[in-house]
Structure 1
Amino acid sequence: MRHLFLPVTGAIALSCSALFTGPASAQDIADTIYSGGTILTMDDSAPRAEALATKDGRILAVGTRADLLAHQGESTRAYDLDGRTMLPGFVDSHGHVVMGGLQALSANLLAPPDGGVTDIASLQEALRGWMADNQEAIAASNLIVGFGYDQSQLAEQRHPTKADLDAVSTDVPIILVHQSGHFGAVNTAALVANDITKRTPVPPGGIIRYGADGEPDGVLEENAFFMVLGQMLGGVGDEGFKAFARAGAKLWASFGYTTAQEGRATPQVAAIAREVAAEGGMGVDVVVYPDVLVDRDFILANQSATYDNGVRIGGAKLTIDGSPQGFTALRDRPYFDPVGTYPPGYAGYASATPEQVQDAINWAFGNNIQILTHANGEGASDMLIAAIDAAEATHGRADRRPVLIHGQFLRPDQVAALDRLDVFPSLFPMHTFYWGDWHRDRTVGPINADNISPTGWVRERGMMFGTHHDAPVAFPDSMRVLSATVTRRTRSGDILGPHQRVDVMTALKAMTLWPAYQHFEEAEKGSLEVGKIADFVILSDDPTAVDPEALDTLKVVATIKDGSEIYRAKDGPQKTLLVPPVGHHVLDVAHAAARKN
């Protein structure tokens, strides 16, 4: 914590000046005035400000220090930014906040820099370490969960098998979630618990892998994995899922997100989010998109433009294909050099049929429901574009704001089609850091890798776009998202597609104002303008002033939702209560036991 008595400069200087200003009406008196640092508004008409005032959770005024003195009263708090930078709170363009809690509460199997797993042996040790620290939870759930392994980052460049996991435990079922969320690995106990044998029917859109003996080897893909994951996590019960939701919301807030997304939910998950919100356990706003192939009646009955305790059903989610780094995204050409046993000309596969895709898009357009569609490969995007073309021919053009999620292997003609059809692209440039080298060497090759997550092509057409983390695929690390969008630097230091890079302000809009538009909330969120909700993030430095290569070193030091702090790092800024005359100010040391950043 900084010294309790701030000098008579900065925020306290407002107190001195207030003695010489005329009285303001009660409705114009601010609850809080923020100053003492850079304020980036995302408002093109006034992109920077010296000070900002809030009242009742809304922005009251934005401008110079002198402008805002008129809104200062005896009870107004001065929030000293202490040289840091304030922006609109980040809006999650795509993530899974409820399931993000699973990441927070399971064994960390991520590769560096987010974890320490580099081979099968270190993966096994990470599991054993987590088990030693979580004996009570394991006994209660009879389940061991690990999250975030990635075969592309393991020395063996393969998925762990049941034999690898049996070496950790033969008694308690183990399930590992791949970092993409589209694969999993289980031990023999988990196979037995789920009645998976060589005679088990393979679900459409999924794969059960088998060993040389013809028996399942423990590796599951897509719908085969989702089926097992749902059954195994079902044992944690409602309270377990509520713990996931609370942990996910805290994790999002720690990275500056004030609006989160649950980007593929069931009605049960939506109910969990609502219960946690009603108990005051979210803190951030959450927009939920239930799976359109699961329960359309639920979506129709519950879709809303307004929040209830900070949660609303925003529309529907459709998934067409899988993971590009796992070679299950549906391409329009063969993969470049996939690792594994694949037939000649292998181009991935769809998890939904063309008929299902067309039916889902028609239903959404016919009911004016916003639909978010996961499509990674060019083949999947072709299916989506064809379905939207047909749906518009039937139902006409309207402001539905359909969203393409990921679109990592887009062609230029597909970007043009998205523009023509008013499809909002929520892109994944963070992939350039985590899997850029893998895409260059294995999935699409060195030429096409330059154009993954093509933000440059999108901006050439003047289109808005969102950028996302897809957590728990990766941590909801806002500064990693920002850095990857601006630099496109990979883990190895390579730069993929310099022509696809964008400037810092464009990248920030893709995290604030433009995803607010994506959610039909641009009138309420995404920029610091009078009347909008007082959702802010405070960063350790000005992202427009630092070396772009240092963007990933910036820290979130505070997150503010509806005018109240919901997260503060250990060295976060202080708030000061102004009580003129000078010398009678009182320091509000809220969140003294704030979490370490």
Structure 2
Amino acid sequence: MKRILPFLLLLCLVFVHSTISAQIPELTVYTAKKIITMETAMPEATAVAVAQGRIVAVGNLESLQPWLKGKQVNYDKTFEGKILLPGFIDPHVHPSLPAVLTQFDFIAPDDWDLPTGDFPGVQTHEAYQQRLRELADAYFADPQRNTDIPYITWGYHQLWHGDMYRPILDEMYPDKPIILWHRSFHEVILNSTAIELVGITEKQVKGHHEIDWEKGLFSELGARMVLASDQMRFLFAPNRYGRGMAHFVEMLHMAGITSAMDMGTGIFGNADDEILLIHQAMDREDVSTRLVLTPIVTYFLGEKNNPDQALSKIKGWTADNSSHVIFDRHFKLMLDGAIYSGLSQFLFPGYIDGHEGEWLAPVETTYQWAQYFWNEGYQLHFHTNGDKSTAELIQQIERMMAQKPRANHRTTLEHFAYSTESQIRKLKDLGACISANPYYQYMLSDIYAANWLGEDRARNMVPLGVAKQYGLNIGLHSDCPMAPLSPLTLVWAAVNRTTINGNQNNPIQRLSVEDALRGITLDAAYLMRMEQEIGSIVAGKKADFVILEEDPTTIEPDKIRDIKIWGTVFEGRLFPLK
């Protein structure tokens, strides 16, 4: 019997090996000028073999030969002369934001290139007023327009565009409804006609600390009151929202993104309809991106749900997972206000002008929700901008660890506008991760230095260099439209650290090109707990690639964001840009 057992084991191994080999009768081999794998053991290659949507082998044509013998092989030279990388990943997007906002004109400080058109940036009060008049007058002159829909434009910011509040808008348009959607997304400004159209009264909002009636300024939950009103339901009409979601899907493809993570399912208040429309837009053969959805606490607070009810809803949504749209045990918490609005929370000495930031919910309420989903084994993501908010996050992780220790919890600080070195070290000790928006320092460091934080803190916004020195896992995200939906732009911002005005921020906080590329590939996959499936080019992972016309590791760093994208490969299928 002892002699028979080894023989039987050998037969089993031979059978298993032959069965696996028989499952791959046909392969496609892609060759390229250079394949940047993001794998330490083999950082570069020139050929990759793919079968059944996954990577079979990586190397060169000679090293791939053992896999190719006796099989039908399709040699695809489409990418000769081009650069292959793992498909780009954006670990913090909001599908509904582009789906809604691309319905309207952009008038922002920075330039925007969208499927709906090009919108050059304007950076002065006069230029903003002139552009607003041009676009709004054209809208109101259209005889086909729906008179129940106000003119809406996104991108206003007071530090560039000056006073454009209700009295100014009433003077410009005394009898036509105008809504300015703030660059932060977290605020809207309405003129009197728009307020009347929406149906909000002064008595209704009296005492609401996030509404300035005289200015027509509705912030955070005040903005939610406007956007959730019956008069604004047109934003989510299936035909309009469907076109907007198509724009979002197109933007993902244009950017070379094959995986993304939503960070706020239910952000507009109707999660069931939003999820249904996302499925309709993405569960298609011609879509080349998978999307992981993350429920957000503000939705459940708005619905007056308790955590048990929230978990039940999430389980129901998860039951409808598809290959393109996935719930995967992530949960989003909100700490301080938006960095673009100047409502982030900062420790002493705070803001130069003395104003204070805001908590988006009572911090103890946030902790109660965090603790519940921590104990359920979820990965937590905390919207966190200022260093006072980072301090609160550290305390909450410590409290959760004390009552139920967890290894590999990967609690993620989302945004990372400003944290101190001691906080960064503590985050590393606690096992936290960073999902950062490096575009913040490009857009905001100059105006924060002059108006709100001073030179020392403002030039160290988004301190990626120190975070990398302490060994934190860093992903880079767009939070579109807080930054363009463009991973190469994020790499460019993290590597160069220049501002919109051409000034230099602290170079110590730069990332190397390799580390920045990891932030949109393998390290971003780690934030999604999908690093075993995506993020690098290695045998066994999904065959997701982005194809570039130039090499980001050899091109001048200030040219990285200008690299042209040929298209993507998603699970082995080619998706060239049109």
TM range (shorter): 0.7 to 0.9
Q: Is the 8 A contact 2:336 2:389 kept in 1?
A: yes
- Offset, 1:203: 7.9
Q: Is the 8 A contact 1:365 1:392 kept in 2?
A: no
Deviates more, 1:452-461 or 1:262-271: 262-271
Structure 1 unaligned regions, length at least 5: 1-23, 211-215, 339-344, 569-593
Q: Which residue of 1 aligns with 2:489?
A: 480
What are the within-5 Å matches in structure 2 for residues 2-401 of structure 1?
A: 27-28=23-24, 31-68=27-64, 71=68, 76-114=74-112, 115-118=120-123, 119-125=127-133, 127-128=135-136, 131=139, 136=144, 138-139=145-146, 142-154=149-161, 157-161=162-166, 163-164=168-169, 167=172, 170-171=175-176, 173-201=177-205, 207-210=210-213, 216-231=214-229, 233-236=232-235, 237-266=237-266, 267-268=271-272, 269-278=274-283, 282-295=287-300, 296-298=310-312, 300-302=314-316, 307-314=321-328, 315-338=330-353, 345-401=354-410
Question: Aligned AA for 1:246?
Answer: A
Q: Which residue of 1 aligns with 2:561?
A: 552
- Render the CA deviation track for 1:122-166: whole Å, top value 9, x for unaligned: 341453376279865x42872433222223332xx3344364277
Q: Is the 8 A contact 1:490 1:496 kept in 2?
A: yes
CA distance in 2 between counterparts of 1:264 and 1:134 reads 35
Q: Is the 8 A contact 1:513 1:526 kept in 2?
A: yes
Q: Which residue of 1 aligns with 2:117?
A: none
Relative to structure 1, the CA distance from residue 40 to residue 330 in structure 2 (aligned partners, 3 Å threshold; closer, same or farther) is same
Relative to structure 1, the CA distance from residue 90 to residue 254 in structure 2 (aligned partners, 3 Å threshold; closer, same or farther) is same
CA RMSD in angstroms comes to: 2.7
- Offset, 1:298: 4.7
- Render the CA deviation track for 1:446-472: whole Å, top value 9, x for unaligned: 111232111111111111111111102
Question: Aligned AA for 2:244?
Answer: F
Q: Which residue of 2 aligns with 1:455?
A: 464
Q: Is the 8 A contact 1:56 1:563 kept in 2?
A: yes
Question: Aligned AA for 1:262?
Answer: D
CA distance in 2 between counterparts of 1:167 and 1:405 reads 39
Deviates more, 1:86-95 or 1:432-441: 432-441
CA distance in 2 between counterparts of 1:280 and 1:77 reads 24
CA distance in 1 between counterparts of 2:418 and 2:95 reads 25
Deviates more, 1:415-424 or 1:224-233: 224-233
- Render the CA deviation track for 1:275-333: whole Å, top value 9, x for unaligned: 33345575411111111243323554147599514111232211112122321111113
- Offset, 1:354: 1.5
Aligned to 1:286, the other structure's residue is in SS state strand
- Offset, 1:256: 1.0
- Render the CA deviation track for 1:556-595: whole Å, top value 9, x for unaligned: 2212222223341xxxxxxxxxxxxxxxxxxxxxxxxx1x
CA distance in 1 between counterparts of 2:142 and 2:480 reads 23
- Render the CA deviation track for 1:60-113: whole Å, top value 9, x for unaligned: 221012223553866615143242211111111211123222233321212243
- Render the CA deviation track for 1:527-546: whole Å, top value 9, x for unaligned: 00111111111122111101
- Offset, 1:511: 0.7
Question: Aligned AA for 1:180?
Answer: S
- Render the CA deviation track for 1:442-500: whole Å, top value 9, x for unaligned: 23211112321111111111111111111022221222101111111111221211111
Q: Is the 8 A contact 2:32 2:83 kept in 1?
A: no
Aligned to 1:176, the other structure's residue is in SS state strand
- Offset, 1:240: 2.9
Q: Which residue of 1 aligns with 2:9?
A: none
CA distance in 1 between counterparts of 2:187 and 2:284 reads 33
- Render the CA deviation track for 1:10-59: whole Å, top value 9, x for unaligned: xxxxxxxxxxxxxx976545543222321100001101001112112111
Q: Which residue of 2 aligns with 1:466?
A: 475
CA distance in 2 between counterparts of 1:134 and 1:565 reads 41
CA distance in 1 between counterparts of 2:34 and 2:321 reads 31
Relative to structure 1, the CA distance from residue 196 to residue 524 in structure 2 (aligned partners, 3 Å threshold; closer, same or farther) is same
Deviates more, 1:260-269 or 1:190-199: 190-199
TM-score (norm 1): 0.82
Residue 451 of structure 2 is aligned to residue 442 of structure 1: yes
Aligned to 1:415, the other structure's residue is in SS state helix
- Render the CA deviation track for 1:204-259: whole Å, top value 9, x for unaligned: 6x52224xxxxx32222222112212335422323433332222121122111111
Question: Aligned AA for 1:297?
Answer: L
CA distance in 1 between counterparts of 2:544 and 2:276 reads 25
CA distance in 2 between counterparts of 1:57 and 1:521 reads 16
Residue 525 of structure 2 is aligned to residue 532 of structure 1: no
CA distance in 2 between counterparts of 1:258 and 1:140 reads 39
Task: Using the aligned pairs only, state the percent identity.
Answer: 25
Aligned to 1:435, the other structure's residue is in SS state helix
Relative to structure 1, the CA distance from residue 134 to residue 242 in structure 2 (aligned partners, 3 Å threshold; closer, same or farther) is farther
Question: Aligned AA for 2:333?
Answer: L
Relative to structure 1, the CA distance from residue 299 to residue 321 in structure 2 (aligned partners, 3 Å threshold; closer, same or farther) is farther
Aligned to 1:38, the other structure's residue is in SS state strand
CA distance in 1 between counterparts of 2:245 and 2:281 reads 7
Structure 2 unaligned regions, length at least 5: 1-19, 113-119, 301-309
CA distance in 2 between counterparts of 1:357 and 1:25 reads 52
CA distance in 2 between counterparts of 1:563 and 1:135 reads 48
CA distance in 1 between counterparts of 2:574 and 2:159 reads 39
Aligned to 1:245, the other structure's residue is in SS state helix
Relative to structure 1, the CA distance from residue 37 to residue 495 in structure 2 (aligned partners, 3 Å threshold; closer, same or farther) is same
- Offset, 1:389: 1.1
Q: Is the 8 A contact 1:559 1:565 kept in 2?
A: yes
CA distance in 2 between counterparts of 1:472 and 1:447 reads 27
Q: Which residue of 1 aligns with 2:440?
A: 431
Question: Aligned AA for 2:280?
Answer: E
Q: Is the 8 A contact 2:492 2:558 kept in 1?
A: yes
Question: Aligned AA for 1:260?
Answer: A
Aligned to 2:62, the other structure's residue is in SS state helix
CA distance in 2 between counterparts of 1:220 and 1:275 reads 32
Aligned to 2:348, the other structure's residue is in SS state coil
Question: Aligned AA for 1:325?
Answer: Y
Q: Is the 8 A contact 2:205 2:211 kept in 1?
A: no
Question: Aligned AA for 1:489?
Answer: T
Aligned to 2:561, the other structure's residue is in SS state helix
Relative to structure 1, the CA distance from residue 461 to residue 478 in structure 2 (aligned partners, 3 Å threshold; closer, same or farther) is same
Q: Is the 8 A contact 1:179 1:474 kept in 2?
A: no
